[in-house]
Structure 1
Amino acid sequence: MASTGQFSGKSLCRGLTSRSSGEQSRLTKGKRKFCLLNRSKVPIGLGGGDIVSRKCHLCAEQKNSLSPLVIRHRKARFGVACCQSSSGYGVESTDVQERMALEENKRSIINGSRNEESESIGIPINQPRSSDVRRELIMLSLPAIAGQAIDPFSQLMETAYIGRLGPVELGSAGVSIMIFNNVSKLFNIPLLSVATSFVAEDIAKNATKDSISENGIQEDSTNGKPIGMVERKQLSSVSTALLLAIGIGIFEAVALYLGCGSFLNLMGITGDSPMRIPAERFLSLRALGAPAVVVSLALQGIFRGFKDTKTPVFCLGLGNLSAIFLFPILMYYLKLGVTGAAISTVVSQYLVTFLMVWQLNKKVILLPPKVGELQFGVYIKSGGFLIGRTLAVLTTMTLATSIAARQGAVAMAAHQICMQIWLAVSLLTDALAASGQALIASYSSEGDHKTVKEVTNFVLKIGLVVGVSLAAILGVSFGSIATLFTKDADVLGIVRTGILFVSASQPINALAFIFDGLHYGVSDFPYAAKSMMLVGLISSAFLLYAPITGLPGVWSGLTLFMGLRTAAGYVRLLSKSGPWWFMHKDL
């Protein structure tokens, strides 16, 4: 890399004339490796008269050799050439004016950093923006889809192993998992969503201050020597998310451990139920993993903000692989039953968190130098809306599970299998929504509404295609998939009645998740919360009549819930007065 920090007097001339012809040719072609020249070393009074009177004069050939050094910028953060010596500055005024004319404004700098990010994921700069955006979305979504598939796959494996123990164990674990998810996700999902948007915005806003090149060497240098290697970023949004996650995780662990009996009573699992003892033991152990779950979800949101969906895949893959390895050992070989399943899951959760923290520590400084730099107020304000939204979701899902549990152990086991497949498959679309959210948050913070519009239209089309494809696949294979979870004939008989619920609702689920990502991308948290509360209220009212029709009524209520979520997102997108006003303009 041709890196130059200071040019001094006659040594500049000698350095240029002694440069070999091969080096001059390389510099002339400009392979996007450039030298950063410090603006602070140029005196304010650079003018024609002062400079002409200096002693160092460059011949035409030398000036041509110097020109590529400054003109062949990929990212023109500083566009002024500086020459220092004890006697003064010796470059002609016309040359300085040419160099100064290359200095770009803030928008040019941002566009340059955008191109740099595009190159890092394999997008040529000279392609049209629409092609770049689509490819960037796909490149972000593919690892994210893999990451989203890993965790549900591990949960499916856990359900399959527990299902072989019997319907009582499967039903008790299903209720406990639902309670754990409801309590832990009350704050986890808002924190993940807010962290993704805020970190992406924080990075975009600080793009003009970032002087770190792609290869990790600081572009500002002294006497041609780098003065900084792989500098970690200082982002208050990251530190705030981590500290909040730790505090919330400890609170959730205490609440779940001490209140597991009360939670089970609320779910209809009374003291005389055969599911009570295994469910209480399972939930108490899973409570110990709550801090790891909260922190790992916050970390996933942070990595999404960095447009890095590969690192979470690596960490989730190793962690969940350990769980799959431990399930048969602890459950069958050591004969711990559902207790072994809970221990395996908790161990894997802490392993995932440790790996993510280790990787993030390479990118950023985890804790801020000053407490005043933290953004608790911003997180709490936006997160408060999403907590209300999450409460609406959890209330509806909890009501559905509670009604299913009151149908008996066999019905609850069948409901648990259907729900695991339903959520595991539909959450694959959430990866696409998360990638779209990161891109929209980044471009929206820069005021690039045209690109935001392109991302929005493209992600909705892809989401619909994915949803229809999943519906077709599940419609054909659902019966065979169900046999992987249990061999109980009674349970399988009920499960097969849910094929329409699991498969036909996938296009609706896909669009619902996509619309959530769009709302979060433009920080439309108030509407996301208020609309979800209304949707949850209507769906819960419908579910109250579900006991009359049994599980089909429960599944119909959940389908209505997802359908209303999709409708609410579509209505917001059509509004000309909200944050999506530019969707109705020709940009």
Structure 2
Amino acid sequence: MFVGRLGPNELGALGVNTALYSLAFFLFNFLASTTTPLVATAVAAQDKDKAGQVTIQGLILAGVLGISLLGGLVIGQDWFLGVMGADGSMLAPAKEYLVARSFAAPAVLVVLVGTGVLRGLQDMKTPLLITLFANAANLVLDPILIYSFDLGVRGAAVATTAAEWLSAGAYVMVLWRERETLGLDCSYSVAVRRAQADYLPFLQAGGTVLLRTFVLLFTKTFASSVATHLGPVNIAAHQVVAQFWLLHSLTTDSLAVSAQSLVAVALGKGDMRQARGLSDRLLQFGIALGVFWTFFLQAASPVLPSIFTSDGTVATAVYSIAPIATFVLPISSAAYVYDGIFIGAKDFRFLAFSMSSAAVCVCTALFLVEPLGWGLPGVWWCQSGMLILRASILTWRYQQQRGPVPRQISKPVEEGTVAVVDNEELEGSVRR
């Protein structure tokens, strides 16, 4: 809003950096996804030492990765901006913004860990309040730094960086307030030694979630690249329909986040029946939400393209792929909820396996789109196929008795009676 008044070069510089930082920070979202189930399970099992250990491990890793990311962005600024297409008169303001914004990297990663810990404590309200506080601070600082201090686009970056550090500070204060619940040791040296004692499980979980996220981003980027080679009209239509998918994913993600926490808590208490019941119910909600979005977007498809474009040829291209993109939304919702369930059950490896397997098949198909003349519909059939493959693989795993949250079964113990297999036996089957 404020940067747009500085001129097209500054606005373009902001756009390039926004895309770059969104990609960079999304890759590190594994810090939240990994921390949530580990903390939730530990707290539910009343293992304060483990909860505190995971929290400190996450914060240390956030600091190390954040400083590394800061250095990498500053040192490689020319390469990153070149890849993102910033050149000419846009390059100078883009560099100004990138360098100033890079100092927010450690704070953003601390925020991700704090969000994961609070989700593990089933506190969804505090992250929302901190986000609102940070956005308000950013809104106040923007005009002051951009115009009053005459910092231009650098001022916008400084305002965002300051807001991120305020947010990180707020999370640290909240975590300190919850130190009894989390079993955080007041002695820094003791806390760090405890965190370093068993870092491997955290790193393994984080690594598999990072792999899953990277594969997902790579596949989406490759699909966009294929659409780009089909011409400007096709890539424009591709981006318009991608916005519909983004809107759907943002609403469905709330169910996935709930699954991460609720399933982890139930398993931490040893209540497999509750974990399975919650999982089934969240899947039902997710599929119902996907059905709603399918019907809504199909009904609104005659007018939705006009919101994003006034070009008739682009609108026609949107109409050609909208049915493909919308019919798969219930399956997409199920895949998102499965992600939350499997993360809550700490079945990280299978999540990465399912994503990688589906991505290999889909990327192979995407290679054939242009040579075989499948056009833009072919790109979207490939993307829809990835969701179908991934949801199918996860459904198979979910229904297995050795899956992350298996159904409780009954077995005869003596004539005329039945007994339910207890939770410990079922949990043992999962571990095996």
CA deviation string 1:498-527 (max 9, x = no partner) = 544654443222111100111111111111
Separation of aligned partners in 2, 1:330 and 1:417: 33
Does the C-alpha gap of structure 1 residues 260 and 546 become closer, same or farther in structure 2, counting only changes over 3 Å? farther
Residue 191 of structure 1, aligned match among 31, 43, 48? 31
Higher helix fraction: Structure 1 or Structure 2?
Answer: 2
Does the C-alpha gap of structure 1 residues 182 and 522 become closer, same or farther in structure 2, counting only changes over 3 Å? same
Does the C-alpha gap of structure 1 residues 245 and 545 become closer, same or farther in structure 2, counting only changes over 3 Å? same
Does the C-alpha gap of structure 1 residues 372 and 322 become closer, same or farther in structure 2, counting only changes over 3 Å? closer
Larger radius of gyration between Structure 1 and Structure 2: 1
Tell me if the contact between 1:467 and 1:510 (Cα under 8 Å) persists in the aligned partners. yes
Give the secondary-structure state (helix, strand or coil) at the position aligned to 1:361: helix
Q: Hey, what does 2:415 align to over in structure 1?
A: none
Output aligned runs, 1:394-413, within 5 Å.
394-404=217-227
Separation of aligned partners in 1, 2:92 and 2:315: 25
Residue 361 of structure 1, aligned match among 176, 185, 188? 176
Separation of aligned partners in 2, 1:326 and 1:499: 40
CA deviation string 1:13-50 (max 9, x = no partner) = xxxxxxxxxxxxxxxxxxxxxxxxxxxxxxxxxxxxxx
Does the C-alpha gap of structure 1 residues 507 and 283 become closer, same or farther in structure 2, counting only changes over 3 Å? farther
- Is 2:213 aligned against 1:373? no
Separation of aligned partners in 2, 1:322 and 1:501: 41
- Is 2:103 aligned against 1:288? yes
Tell me if the contact between 1:404 and 1:412 (Cα under 8 Å) persists in the aligned partners. yes
- Which residue type is aligned with residue 449 of structure 1? M
Output aligned runs, 1:40-189, within 5 Å.
176-186=17-27, 188-189=28-29
Does the C-alpha gap of structure 1 residues 476 and 313 become closer, same or farther in structure 2, counting only changes over 3 Å? farther
Tell me if the contact between 1:299 and 1:357 (Cα under 8 Å) persists in the aligned partners. yes
Q: Hey, what does 1:134 align to over in structure 2?
A: none
Q: CA deviation at 1:383?
A: 1.5
Q: Hey, what does 1:225 align to over in structure 2?
A: none
Q: CA deviation at 1:544?
A: 2.7
- Is 2:132 aligned against 1:317? yes
Output aligned runs, 1:4-43, within 5 Å.
none
Residue 239 of structure 1, aligned match among 56, 71, 77? 56
Does the C-alpha gap of structure 1 residues 438 and 575 become closer, same or farther in structure 2, counting only changes over 3 Å? same
Tell me if the contact between 1:182 and 1:398 (Cα under 8 Å) persists in the aligned partners. no
Tell me if the contact between 1:330 and 1:341 (Cα under 8 Å) persists in the aligned partners. yes
Q: Hey, what does 2:430 align to over in structure 1?
A: none
CA deviation string 1:230-277 (max 9, x = no partner) = xxx98222122112112212222222333243345556x3857x9767
Q: Hey, what does 2:285 align to over in structure 1?
A: 462
CA deviation string 1:72-93 (max 9, x = no partner) = xxxxxxxxxxxxxxxxxxxxxx
Q: CA deviation at 1:584?
A: 5.5
Q: Hey, what does 2:366 align to over in structure 1?
A: 543
- Is 2:259 aligned against 1:436? yes
Does the C-alpha gap of structure 1 residues 408 and 327 become closer, same or farther in structure 2, counting only changes over 3 Å? farther
Instruction: Note the residue ranges of structure 2 that are not aligned, 5 or more in a row.
Output: 411-419, 422-432
Question: In terms of mean alpha carbon deviation, does 367-376 or 504-513 score higher?
Answer: 367-376
Q: Hey, what does 2:424 align to over in structure 1?
A: none
Tell me if the contact between 2:55 and 2:113 (Cα under 8 Å) persists in the aligned partners. no
Give the secondary-structure state (helix, strand or coil) at the position aligned to 1:199: helix
CA deviation string 1:531-584 (max 9, x = no partner) = 211122222222334455565444433322222221221111122233344356
Q: Hey, what does 1:299 align to over in structure 2?
A: 114
Separation of aligned partners in 2, 1:457 and 1:302: 25
- Which residue type is aligned with residue 385 of structure 2? L
Tell me if the contact between 2:145 and 2:151 (Cα under 8 Å) persists in the aligned partners. yes
CA deviation string 1:378-414 (max 9, x = no partner) = 2112222222222211221232344455567776565
Output aligned runs, 1:320-339, within 5 Å.
320-323=135-138
- Which residue type is aligned with residue 373 of structure 1? R
Identity of aligned residues (%): 31
Q: Hey, what does 1:450 align to over in structure 2?
A: 273
Q: CA deviation at 1:279?
A: 6.0
Separation of aligned partners in 1, 2:11 and 2:378: 22
- Which residue type is aligned with residue 167 of structure 2? V
Does the C-alpha gap of structure 1 residues 278 and 478 become closer, same or farther in structure 2, counting only changes over 3 Å? farther
Q: Hey, what does 1:559 align to over in structure 2?
A: 384
Separation of aligned partners in 1, 2:240 and 2:254: 22
Separation of aligned partners in 2, 1:533 and 1:309: 31
Residue 250 of structure 1, aligned match among 44, 47, 67? 67
Does the C-alpha gap of structure 1 residues 368 and 415 become closer, same or farther in structure 2, counting only changes over 3 Å? farther
Tell me if the contact between 2:38 and 2:51 (Cα under 8 Å) persists in the aligned partners. no
Separation of aligned partners in 2, 1:560 and 1:324: 41
- Which residue type is aligned with residue 255 of structure 2? L
Paired residues, what number? Answer: 402
Tell me if the contact between 1:200 and 1:305 (Cα under 8 Å) persists in the aligned partners. yes
Separation of aligned partners in 2, 1:563 and 1:386: 20
CA deviation string 1:131-151 (max 9, x = no partner) = xxxxxxxxxxxxxxxxxxxxx
Separation of aligned partners in 1, 2:235 and 2:91: 14
Give the secondary-structure state (helix, strand or coil) at the position aligned to 1:559: helix
Tell me if the contact between 1:385 and 1:526 (Cα under 8 Å) persists in the aligned partners. yes
Residue 207 of structure 2, aligned match among 384, 390, 394? 384
Give the secondary-structure state (helix, strand or coil) at the position aligned to 2:179: coil
Give the secondary-structure state (helix, strand or coil) at the position aligned to 1:544: helix
Q: Hey, what does 2:398 align to over in structure 1?
A: 573
Give the secondary-structure state (helix, strand or coil) at the position aligned to 1:350: helix
Does the C-alpha gap of structure 1 residues 300 and 260 become closer, same or farther in structure 2, counting only changes over 3 Å? same
- Which residue type is aligned with residue 170 of structure 2? L
Tell me if the contact between 2:266 and 2:272 (Cα under 8 Å) persists in the aligned partners. yes
Separation of aligned partners in 2, 1:242 and 1:518: 24
- Which residue type is aligned with residue 243 of structure 1? I
Q: CA deviation at 1:193?
A: 1.4
Does the C-alpha gap of structure 1 residues 249 and 485 become closer, same or farther in structure 2, counting only changes over 3 Å? farther
Does the C-alpha gap of structure 1 residues 338 and 393 become closer, same or farther in structure 2, counting only changes over 3 Å? farther
Tell me if the contact between 1:175 and 1:401 (Cα under 8 Å) persists in the aligned partners. no
Tell me if the contact between 2:212 and 2:355 (Cα under 8 Å) persists in the aligned partners. yes
Does the C-alpha gap of structure 1 residues 281 and 513 become closer, same or farther in structure 2, counting only changes over 3 Å? farther
Does the C-alpha gap of structure 1 residues 278 and 471 become closer, same or farther in structure 2, counting only changes over 3 Å? farther
Separation of aligned partners in 2, 1:171 and 1:287: 18
Does the C-alpha gap of structure 1 residues 466 and 360 become closer, same or farther in structure 2, counting only changes over 3 Å? same
Q: Hey, what does 1:71 align to over in structure 2?
A: none
Q: Hey, what does 1:582 align to over in structure 2?
A: 407
- Which residue type is aligned with residue 452 of structure 1? A
Q: CA deviation at 1:454?
A: 0.8
Separation of aligned partners in 1, 2:24 and 2:69: 7
